[in-house]
């Protein structure tokens, strides 16, 4: 299966993470069923720091592959992995039928400093992109078709390629030293064979639109999909700022802080994410990628409010 962002309506996609315990599995499968019902181009599954959720990631990806019509996209990380280990991991995912990947450098596991951790044999996402492409090429070499009427002559068919997405950082990666380092990193990933970029979350449409423009001017041609995260509580806002190093969005922070109820805060977060989705689509984004936090209702509300989801495609309340 190949990720197609070229056909209307506005392509949508979601990110989920593997369940942390067996108890969460049934609820997550239900969430996947709801997300699949609105026909996303893919559902991506995160890969825990240092491979900590590897088995559960693959189980969830296989579930999406078998139980829905949606393309599962596997996040894979380099951190802590040897070359041979990464090679074996990619083969395991390909053997399971997974053909779309998000190649990431990955962060050190919780509690481990960037300077302490063994970063592994692959030290950038671009190298992982190349390795995924190479492993797939070894499995599916060019096929030869005899040319009728020309004895001994063969035509080499283009081999089927896997889809390889990569991360992009509209406001810079927390460890990058200057703004162009992130664009250079994206160019390197594109040169290595990446076919799609998905952005880190951002809070203002201009952050994304200006980054896309700078990337295009520098020679990035692959689609850059905006990653949008509904921030539905002050706690979640604090947590994502810690994790991503993004600047505090003062307007959203104040709106969440003055809202006294949980439901009211949820509405603030949904409205903010919906506005962002609408503005980036109006600005030319090739689709919208939603960080779902394993909950379908919030992201589907965002898409409905943004006007990019046909309400008729959403499963009725009775089966929610």
Site string for ligand FAD, 219-258 (x = CB under 6 A): --------x-------------------------------
If one counts every other C-beta atom within 10 angstroms of the C-beta of residue 208, the result is: 27
Kindly state whether residue 193 participates in binding ligand FAD, applying the rule CB under 6 A: no
- Would you say the C-alpha torsion 320, 263, 268, 212 has a positive or negative sign? negative
Question: Looking at 145-153, 180-188, 233-241, 303-311, which segment touches ligand FAD (CB under 6 A)?
Answer: 180-188
Kindly state whether residue 135 participates in binding ligand FAD, applying the rule CB under 6 A: no
Kindly state whether residue 200 participates in binding ligand FAD, applying the rule CB under 6 A: yes
Do 288 and 12 form a contact (C-beta atoms < 8 A)? yes
Q: What b/e readout covers 146-184, taking b as 16+ CB neighbours within 10 angstroms?
A: eeeeeeeeeeeeeeeebbbbbbbbbbbbeeeeeeeebbe
Kindly state whether residue 34 participates in binding ligand FAD, applying the rule CB under 6 A: no
Site string for ligand FAD, 51-90 (x = CB under 6 A): ------------------------x-x-------------
Residue 205 or 255: the one with the smaller Cβ distance to ligand FAD is 205
Kindly state whether residue 37 participates in binding ligand FAD, applying the rule CB under 6 A: no
Kindly state whether residue 176 participates in binding ligand FAD, applying the rule CB under 6 A: yes
Residue 203 or 265: the one with the smaller Cβ distance to ligand FAD is 203
If one counts every other C-beta atom within 10 angstroms of the C-beta of residue 60, the result is: 24
Kindly state whether residue 14 participates in binding ligand FAD, applying the rule CB under 6 A: no
Out of 35, 185, 228, 268, which residue is the one contacting ligand FAD (CB under 6 A)?
Answer: 185
Question: Looking at 152-160, 169-177, 233-241, 253-261, which segment touches ligand FAD (CB under 6 A)?
Answer: 169-177
Tokens of 272: 């903010």
Give me the residue label for tokens 């423009």. Answer: 213
Bridge-partner residues for 148, per DSSP?
Answer: none
Kindly state whether residue 294 participates in binding ligand FAD, applying the rule CB under 6 A: no
Residue 225 or 255: the one with the smaller Cβ distance to ligand FAD is 225
Angle at the Cα of 79 from the Cα atoms of 76 and 84, rounded to 5 degrees: 75
Determine the Cα–Cα distance for residues 105 and 122; give it in Å rounded to an integer: 8
What is the size of the binding site for ligand FAD (CB under 6 A)?
21
Residue 200 or 265: the one with the smaller Cβ distance to ligand FAD is 200
Q: Is the peptide bond before 9 cis (omega within 30 degrees of 0)?
A: yes
Determine the Cα–Cα distance for residues 271 and 276; give it in Å rounded to an integer: 9
Kindly state whether residue 120 participates in binding ligand FAD, applying the rule CB under 6 A: no
Kindly state whether residue 106 participates in binding ligand FAD, applying the rule CB under 6 A: yes
In residues, how long is the chain? 320
User: How far apart are CB 187 and ligand FAD at their closest, in Å?
Assistant: 10
Q: Strand ranges (DSSP E) for the chain?
A: 12-16, 42-45, 71-77, 100-104, 143-146, 154-157, 163-168, 196-199, 224-225, 227-228, 288-291
If one counts every other C-beta atom within 10 angstroms of the C-beta of residue 79, the result is: 22
Q: Which residues bind ligand FAD (CB under 6 A)?
A: 46-47, 49, 75, 77, 104-107, 124-125, 167, 173, 175-176, 181-182, 185, 198, 200, 227
């Amino acid at each position: 299966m190949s990720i197609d962002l070229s056909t209307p309506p506005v392509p949508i996609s979601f990110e989920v993470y593997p369940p942390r315990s067996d108890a969460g599995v049934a609820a997550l499968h239900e969430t996947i069923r709801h997300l699949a019902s609105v026909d996303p181009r893919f559902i991506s599954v995160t890969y825990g720091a240092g491979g900590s959720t590897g088995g559960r990631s693959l189980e969830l990806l296989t579930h999406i592959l078998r139980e829905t019509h949606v393309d599962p996209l596997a996040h894979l990380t380099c951190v802590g992995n040897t070359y041979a280990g990464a090679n074996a991991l990619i083969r395991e995912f390909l053997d399971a039928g997974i053909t779309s990947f998000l190649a990431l450098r990955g962060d050190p596991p919780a509690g481990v400093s960037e300077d302490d951790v063994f970063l592994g044999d692959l030290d950038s996402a671009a190298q992982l992109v190349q390795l995924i492409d190479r492993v797939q090429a070894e499995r599916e070499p060019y096929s030869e078709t005899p040319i009728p009427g020309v004895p001994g002559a063969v035509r080499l068919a283009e081999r089927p390629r896997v889809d390889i997405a990569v991360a992009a950082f509209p406001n810079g990666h927390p460890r990058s030293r200057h703004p162009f380092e992130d664009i250079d990193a994206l160019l390197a990933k594109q040169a290595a064979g990446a076919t799609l970029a998905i952005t880190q979350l951002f809070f203002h449409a201009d952050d994304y639109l200006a980054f896309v423009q700078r990337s295009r001017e520098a020679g990035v041609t692959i689609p850059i999909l905006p990653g949008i995260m509904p921030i539905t509580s002050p706690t979640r806002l604090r947590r994502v700022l810690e994790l991503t190093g993004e600047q505090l969005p003062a307007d959203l922070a104040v709106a969440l802080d003055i809202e006294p109820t949980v439901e009211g805060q949820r509405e603030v977060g949904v409205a903010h994410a919906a506005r962002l989705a609408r503005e980036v689509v109006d600005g030319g984004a090739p689709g919208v990628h939603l960080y779902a936090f394993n909950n379908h209702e919030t992201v589907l509300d965002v898409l409905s409010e943004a006007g990019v989801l046909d309400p008729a495609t959403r499963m009725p309340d009775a089966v929610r």
